[in-house]
Amino acid sequence: MDMPDTVSAAEASASGFLDGDYDDAAGYYTPGTPLVDTKAPEGPIAERWQNRKFEARLVNPSNRRKLSIIIVGTGLAGASAAATLGEAGYNVKSFCYQDSPRRAHSIAAQGGINAAKNYKEDGDSVHRLFYDTVKGGDYRSRESNVYRLAEVSTNIIDQCVAQGVPFAREYGGLLDNRSFGGVQVSRTFYARGQTGQQLLIGAYQALERQVAAGTVSTYTRHEMLELITVDGKARGIIARDMVTGAVETHLADVVVLASGGYGNVFYLSTNAMGCNVTAAWRAHRKGAYMANPCYTQIHPTCIPVSGSHQSKLTLMSESLRNDGRIWVPKNQADCDKDPRDIPEEDRDYYLERIYPSFGNLVPRDIASRAAKNVCDEGRGVGPEVDGVRRGVYLDFSAAIERLGKKGITEKYDNLFDMYERITGENPFEVPMRIYPAVHYVMGGLWVDYDLQSTIPGLFVTGEANFSDHGANRLGASALMQGLADGYFVLPHTIRDYLADGPFEEITEDHPAVVEARESVKGRIDHFLSVNGTRSVDSYHRELGNIMWEYCGMERTETGLKKAIDLIRSLKDDFYRNVKVLGGAQTLNQSLEKAGRVADFFELGELMCIDALNRRESCGGHFRGESQTEDGEALRHDDEYAYVAAWEWAGEDSIPVLHKEDLVYTAIEMKQRSYK
Amino acid sequence: MSMNLTLKIWRQPDASSAGAMHTYQLADVSPDMSFLEMLDVLNEQLNDKGEDPIAFDHDCREGICGSCGLMINGDAHGPEVTTTCQLHMRSFKDGETITIEPWRADAFPVVKDLIVDRSAFDRIVQQGGYISVNTGSAPEAHSVPVPRDDALRAFNVATCIGCGACVAACPNGSASLFMGAKITHLGELPQGQPERDSRVVNMVAQHDHEGFGGCTNIGACTAACPKEIPLDVISQLNKDLRTAIRHGH
């Protein structure tokens, strides 16, 4: 590995590193050179993407089949890219760990997808979607990328409709829209509560069409375990066939990671069980910077944990807060009582009390943090797990009285059924219980305007990159970004890189390839040889608890430093005491999990360091040290209006921080206010 | 409140080895556990004892990805109308014996333990389960209105998650419900018309080639379907096939 680009203390001071009175993360990182060139085109913001598309070189159609592309992940960002690049005539290999590309976790997205179609003629426009997204991200995203996202959003809807995605329609046969996530225009397209599924099936079908056409080969039940770099360029991956256990080498001219988010570092999240950071983390260790890893989105209305057996959390639409009233008992002694026996005067409708104007409809992060606070005080409800009751009531009794049972059923469709199926309680009779859960990560691998990482030839799309959502993501924007990247952005930017290809042919016995393959085998052998006493899951659960407690919704310097110590010692114990049974040359689910959890330890530590460095409350994150007199979030644009891009400096070294300053030319930075 | 269960589970090391039912005792099962969480707990205990954990497919655990699927006491996805991951232990009784097997169908060979190979579904889709429209060539979304009832019908059958319960439940091992859902979804929409004939002919040919059986209108598929895909999609499939043949396909 090359020596990291670090700077001296004097240079660090000059580049703004030691401004302000604090450097909480001092000693945990090395200051690096700033990231100056993001390849964002110059000129008026509305013309930048057009200009870039024109300037990006073309690849002659007859040359395309000689160029090979590896795409890891088949969610919206991966399947759409694979299909589109296959249609263009490139030679594409598509990898997923599931048994079919159709099962990637984009499928679970419920709400909808934003697009600036302005079909409602309610004042929407590309510029307004751009503005809302930057503002929603609390001014921590890159404006050129966000503008482009808003710009191509309209093409996505056209494409999906043509594929047969069954969006909701009005009686006249035209598409219906709804307002979503507190924005004032109706720009969200939806397919009942299954928008993600319908969009993914559309992309999956387009992908399978290319498989039949011979342009795309799919490798299902394959997990990428290492990135191959040759002469500084990404040239392939090492993947494990999860059925036979074979460690395979796949070489290509370019590699695309569309491997999703890493919310499972928290163990419990709304992610699918298999979602992991390994593909991204392996690339990070090979030189791709990881940007803003601490930016995590926590969703306030999930179904709470029912016991220590809990394996994942299920989200319920936030729209429930429109009619439900959130409360906990005033007295700890009432927490295990039947809520119907607790009289009105003994209930604390804490959101209505603290935020009288917004009440139960305060933004996601505030609702989430307030719920955690009352539970930490000992006033939570529901089953006691590890000594704490983590749940608050979401009570519909007033709404049922007002709208009738029928009115509520019509409005919330299957949500009440879903809740009853999971909890066994009927929310028409007993108040629902809810608790926040990790839902999405805005952080990810750093990419430039072309979606290229700091490793030439490694592109990153969808949730796996960091670029569009800043410190918080607007509702219905994840699907938009995944498809924008895969259908409309990457296919243009990647051709500029491929115009220099095909690159020098390499073989499986190239030293860099051998080294990558041997390191994967070495890791596998290690996990199988420890033969300790604890299961992988038990480590994962403990790591998740640390992350949730100290690097969740509210962070403090003391807590984060404690978390880093805890993670380091847990990781150490893991390598000495984990118990992974079975062999390497077979389907081995414990072995799969061991590799993922090993990478989560390293990611978790970096998330804490990133959070430690960012001594400001912004987006979904609250830093205890950065609040107003009223206890509200306080952002510090003077010190932290930058992207924190972290460079791996080696196993025994602290990471290097490179800053990309965020400059807004088309929008003015404002502080959020909801009082 | 907690339950003690006897579990009879199919174990098979790999596709080429013979399998057998094994019996396990599991104590202190909470009724609030999902069925898969119950298996997680059993696996933790097996791991502690040095026995190979039971392999099963699962991912989203919220009933939408279609990864999970077990024959539970002979029923695909068990006693409720839902996916295995959304089935909870409160549907069972203390002291009960539960039999757990992989999907039963020739076209879904066992990979290991409770995991089967459903790649035949992908190959059926490759033969026409799509609308041919390259990225960038789509017309404006509002250029083709779709009557609301047609859109609703398309949506209702597009909810198929490709789990394979229909095949597992069918005595003939037919994938007609799976195929009928796709044929109906795309056939209800104006965008799906140009390829309507070739789609049904090619998908049915692939279905038969994969070794799925024919439909004899038993209806076990729709009864087992966690998404309640209606049986009439198979009528639609047959009608479209007949029409395509009449058109000379």
Q: What is the CATH number of the domain that holds A339?
A: 3.90.700.10
Give the pLDDT band of residue B223 (cuts 50, 70, 90).
very high
Question: Which residues in chain A touch residue B147, judged by CB atoms under 8 angstroms apart?
Answer: 173
Which residue is closest to A101 within chain B, CA to CA? B122
| Residue B202 contacts A, CB cutoff 8 Å | no
Determine the Cα–Cα distance for residues A209 and A92; give it in Å rounded to an integer. Answer: 13
**Residue A620, CB-side half-sphere exposure with 13 Å CA sphere:** 29
| Domains of chain B with CATH codes | 3-112 (3.10.20.30), 118-133+144-246 (1.10.1060.10)
Output the pLDDT for position A674. 58
| Residue A587 contacts B, CB cutoff 8 Å | yes
- Is A193 contained in some domain? yes
**What's the whole-number mean pLDDT along residues A27-40?**
95
More confident residue, A275 or A20: A275
**Claim to verify: residue A460 and residue A319 sit in the same structural domain:** no
Output the pLDDT for position A409. 85
Residues ≥6 apart with Cβ < 8 Å to A390: A304, A305, A375, A380, A382, A435
The percentage of chain B sitting over the pLDDT mark of 90, rounded to a whole number, equals: 99
* Local structure of A599: helix, strand or coil: helix
Task: Test A98 with B67 for CB contact under 8 angstroms.
Answer: yes
Question: Which residues in chain A touch residue B59, judged by CB atoms under 8 angstroms apart?
Answer: 98, 103, 105, 272-274
User: Chain A window 177-236: which residues touch B at a Cβ cutoff of 8 Å?
Assistant: 191-192, 194, 197-198, 201, 204-206, 208-209, 211-212, 218, 220
Output the pLDDT for position A671. 78
Identity (one letter) of the amino acid at A121? E
- Is A93 contained in some domain? yes
pLDDT at A81 over 90: yes
**Claim to verify: residue A258 and residue A350 sit in the same structural domain:** no
Option in B14, B64, B136 nearest A107 (CB): B64
Question: Which residues in chain A touch residue B118, judged by CB atoms under 8 angstroms apart?
Answer: 99-100
Task: Test A194 with B64 for CB contact under 8 angstroms.
Answer: yes
**Claim to verify: residue A221 and residue A283 sit in the same structural domain:** yes
Option in A212, A315, A582 nearest B126 (CB): A212
Option in B14, B60, B82 nearest A107 (CB): B60
**Shortest Cα–Cα distance, A283 to chain B (Å):** 24
Task: Test B112 with A587 for CB contact under 8 angstroms.
Answer: yes
- Is A375 contained in some domain? yes
**What's the whole-number mean pLDDT along residues A632-659?**
95
Domain-ending residue, one of A480, A498, A516:
A498
- Is A196 contained in some domain? yes
User: Chain B window 7-46: which residues touch A at a Cβ cutoff of 8 Å?
Assistant: 13-14, 30-34, 36-38, 40-41, 44
Task: Test B151 with A169 for CB contact under 8 angstroms.
Answer: yes
Output the pLDDT for position A660. 98
pLDDT at A152 over 90: yes
* Local structure of A446: helix, strand or coil: coil
**Claim to verify: residue A72 and residue A143 sit in the same structural domain:** yes
Domain-ending residue, one of A439, A457, A479:
A439
**Helix-, strand-, coil-residue percentages of chain A, each rounded to 5:** 40, 15, 40
| Residue B147 contacts A, CB cutoff 8 Å | yes
Q: Which two tokens stand for residue A637?
A: 């644009």
Question: Which residues in chain A touch residue B139, judged by CB atoms under 8 angstroms apart?
Answer: 158, 162
Give the pLDDT band of residue A193 (cuts 50, 70, 90).
confident
CATH code of the domain containing A269: 3.50.50.60
**Claim to verify: residue A401 and residue A428 sit in the same structural domain:** yes
Output the pLDDT for position A4. 59
- Is A223 contained in some domain? yes
pLDDT at A10 over 80: no
Look at A41-50, A155-164, A314-323, B193-202 and tell me which has the smallest mean pLDDT.
A314-323
Nearest alpha-carbon partner for B85 in B129, B136, B33, B130: B33
- Is A103 contained in some domain? yes
Output the pLDDT for position A358. 84
pLDDT at A1 over 50: no
Task: Test B37 with A170 for CB contact under 8 angstroms.
Answer: no
- Structural domain harbouring A308: 299-439
Output the pLDDT for position A319. 80
| Residue B81 contacts A, CB cutoff 8 Å | no
Domain-ending residue, one of A453, A471, A498:
A498
Q: Which two tokens stand for residue A433?
A: 């219980």
Determine the Cα–Cα distance for residues A112 and A157; give it in Å rounded to an integer. Answer: 11
Give the pLDDT band of residue A632 (cuts 50, 70, 90).
confident
Determine the Cα–Cα distance for residues A139 and A665; give it in Å rounded to an integer. Answer: 12
Task: Test B135 with A488 for CB contact under 8 angstroms.
Answer: yes
Give the pLDDT band of residue A16 (cuts 50, 70, 90).
very low
**Claim to verify: residue A285 and residue A343 sit in the same structural domain:** no
pLDDT digits (tens, 9 = 90+) for A239-282: 999 999 999 999 999 999 999 999 999 999 999 999 999 999 99
- Is A383 contained in some domain? yes
> Cα A451 vs. chain centroid, distance in angstroms?
16
Look at A314-323, A329-338, B218-227 and tell me which has the smallest mean pLDDT.
A314-323
| Residue A422 contacts B, CB cutoff 8 Å | yes
Domain count, chain A: 2
**Claim to verify: residue A270 and residue A359 sit in the same structural domain:** no
**Claim to verify: residue A189 and residue A333 sit in the same structural domain:** no
**Claim to verify: residue A331 and residue A451 sit in the same structural domain:** no
**Claim to verify: residue A449 and residue A478 sit in the same structural domain:** yes
pLDDT digits (tens, 9 = 90+) for B83-99: 999 999 999 999 999 99
Output the pLDDT for position A302. 96
Of the residues B118, B130, B144, B227, the best mutation for testing chain A's interface (the one with the most A CB atoms within 10 Å of its CB) is B130
Which residue is closest to B66 within chain A, CA to CA? A103
Question: Which residues in chain B touch residue A84, judged by CB atoms under 8 angstroms apart?
Answer: 134-135
Q: Alpha-carbon dihedral of residues A137, A141, A144, A150, nearest 10 degrees? A: -30
More confident residue, A128 or A417: A128
Nearest alpha-carbon partner for A464 in A283, A602, A614: A283
- Is A88 contained in some domain? yes
Look at A34-43, A175-184, A253-262, B61-70 and tell me which has the smallest mean pLDDT.
A175-184
**Claim to verify: residue A262 and residue A323 sit in the same structural domain:** no
Option in B61, B115, B133 nearest A163 (CB): B133
Q: State the first-to-last Cα distance of chain A, in angstroms, to the nearest integer.
A: 50
DSSP for B67-114?
Answer: ----EETTEET-SSSS-GGG-BGGGS-TT-EEEEE----TTS-EEETT
Give the pLDDT band of residue B225 (cuts 50, 70, 90).
very high
Model ipTM value: 0.98
Question: How many CB atoms sit inside 10 A of residue B221's CB?
Answer: 26
Q: What are the b/e assignments for A356-378, b being 16+ CB within 10 Å?
A: eebebebbbbbbbbbbbebbeee
Output the pLDDT for position B210. 98
Q: Which residues pair with A633 in a beta bridge?
A: A627
User: Chain A window 314-373: which residues touch B at a Cβ cutoff of 8 Å?
Assistant: 314-315
- Residues of A taking part in catalysis: 364
Q: Which two tokens stand for residue A81?
A: 């890219």
Determine the Cα–Cα distance for residues A208 and B128; give it in Å rounded to an integer. Answer: 9
Question: Which residues in chain A touch residue B202, judged by CB atoms under 8 angstroms apart?
Answer: none
Task: Test A243 with B47 for CB contact under 8 angstroms.
Answer: no
Output the pLDDT for position A361. 86
Give the pLDDT band of residue A8 (cuts 50, 70, 90).
low
Say how many CB pairs under 8 Å bridge A and B: 217
**Claim to verify: residue A353 and residue A303 sit in the same structural domain:** yes
Q: Which two tokens stand for residue A353?
A: 């009390």
Of the residues A433, A495, A535, A589, the best mutation for testing chain B's interface (the one with the most B CB atoms within 10 Å of its CB) is A589
Query: H-helix or E-strand containing A562?
Result: helix A557-577
pLDDT at B202 over 90: yes
Output the pLDDT for position A21. 62
**Shortest Cα–Cα distance, B8 to chain A (Å):** 21
* Mean pLDDT estimate for chain A: 94
